[in-house]
Amino acid sequence: MFVHTIADNESTTYSKFTLMDNLEPKFQEYDYGCLGNLRQYNSMESPLYTLTTNFVETIVMYGANDYLVQPIYAQRVIRELGIVNLGFTKQVDDPEFSHMDFT
């Protein structure tokens, strides 16, 4: 069984989750700042993820009280994945269920 927690990743991954809490959330690569983005991506802005290029069937489960990914963002991912590669969606309504319960 695959077990994965934020502790397994570098801090930039956790930053991606917190970036989604701004006024205009975007699904994009890590933002290194203008100069860092130029070095990393040859662009002053980090590129957006194109979720419709994912051709692997995807299951989306999210908690109603998740402190990292709010339901509105999970629903947006579901919409952006499109019907072609969306296998199953489920909102877990247990008030104690959070992001770390997925590990």
Q: Over the stretch 55-98, which tens digit does the pLDDT of each residue have? A: 788 888 888 888 788 888 888 888 877 766 778 888 888 888 87
Residue 57 tokens read as 């069937």
Chain segment 11-37, per-residue pLDDT in tens: 444 455 444 444 566 778 999 999 999
Within 13 A of 25's CA, how many CA atoms are on the CB side? 17
Matching residue, tokens 């009280």 = 65
**Would you say 44 and 38 are in contact if contact means Cβ atoms under 8 Å apart?**
yes
**Would you say 65 and 37 are in contact if contact means Cβ atoms under 8 Å apart?**
no
DSSP code of residue 93: -
Question: pTM here?
Answer: 0.54
Q: Where are the domains of the chain?
A: 1-49, 55-103
Other Cβ atoms closer than 10 A to 66: 20
